Amino acid sequence: MTEMKFAKELHEPDVKSGTSYWFIFKKNKLLVNCCDKDKYTIPDFETPKKSGIPCIRTQYLGKYNDICCFSAEVTEETELPGEINFFHILEIHTLLDPDMLHIAFYAVQIVDWDRDFQFCGRCGSKTTNMKNERAKICKKCNLISYPRKSPAVIVSIVRDNKILLARSQKFSNVNMYSVLAGFVDPGESLEDCVRREIREEVRIEVKNIQYFGSQSWPFPDSLMVGFTAEYKSGEISIDNDEIDEAGWFSVSELPRIPRKISIARQLID
């Protein structure tokens, strides 16, 4: 696998030649060129304003193959004609170049952070961008706000060649099942979080917890840390709060499961 040629940078070059890639969002919807039904591309132009796109805020991200990349945000009322439109990233992820999808995941988190931290969370004063790092500072109380990253664990549990899958309440309408996951509490190790989440959601105990891998998941700002584990004891009893249904599934009887883009699907596979 070749290394992606995207270099994160803080400061926009004084001189730019040609066009730049623009990752423009309407909430979690990304602006793309739709000229080919089997492939969408990221728009490239000098500035959104010159192309008739009214952006609220813009952020410089870095360079991809020496081409500048920017993120930007528009209002919900913004509509565009022709072969350019907004789509949710997950709806079109298979139609985007993988490198561009990776940058889009980064871009949407920077857009969200820039919007949500315009004011200090401590004293309410206006924040300003710091010059030497991706952060905002309150000049009144000196509180520094970095792009937020919320760690969460996600774990596959196996028992006698079957995997534990559960359907959360938020996915009841699409009847999709996945492995268990939950956010890490303050003062908690990742392994302790694995045990607690499993105990809280399905009331069983596990053993042989092993690290699997991680994935940055920008909805809105999660860092998913994946683990595998083996069943130890107990009987499934759902919490009736976050989980609607849970059970053990063999490979021949899997229900509807998440897309391949997610670490949840990687754990199941």
List the domain boundaries for the chain: 6-116, 117-147, 150-268
Give me the pLDDT at residue 82, please. Answer: 66
Q: Look at 235 and 34; give whichever has higher pLDDT.
A: 235
pLDDT digits (tens, 9 = 90+) for 134-179: 999 999 999 999 999 999 999 999 999 999 999 988 777 778 999 9
Q: Which segments of 139-262 are extended strands (E)?
A: 144-145, 150-159, 162-168, 180-183, 205-217, 222-233, 243-249
Q: What percent of the chain has pLDDT over 90?
A: 78
Q: Which structure tokens are listed for 2? A: 């070749």
Q: Exposed, middle or buried by CB within 10 Å (0-12, 13-18, 19+), for 67?
A: middle
Q: What distance in Å separates the CA atoms of residue 122 and residue 141, rounded to the nearest whole number?
A: 8
Q: What's the CATH superfamily of 6-116?
A: Nucleoside Triphosphate Pyrophosphohydrolase (3.90.79.10)
pLDDT digits (tens, 9 = 90+) for 191-246: 999 999 999 999 999 999 999 999 999 988 999 999 999 999 999 999 778 899 99
Give me the pLDDT at residue 1, please. Answer: 40
Fold match between 6-116 and 150-268?
yes
Give me the pLDDT at residue 9, please. Answer: 96
Quick one: pLDDT band at residue 97, thresholds 50, 70, 90?
A: very high
Give the architecture (CATH level 2) of 150-268.
Answer: Alpha-Beta Complex (3.90)
Assessment of whether the complete model's pTM goes beyond 0.75: yes
Give me the pLDDT at residue 3, please. Answer: 60
Taking residues 68-93, report their average pLDDT: 87
Contact (CB, 8 A) for 25 and 32: no
Could you identify the residue written with the tokens 């009893």?
A: 237
Taking residues 11-31, report their average pLDDT: 91
- pLDDT exceeds cutoff 80 at 2: no
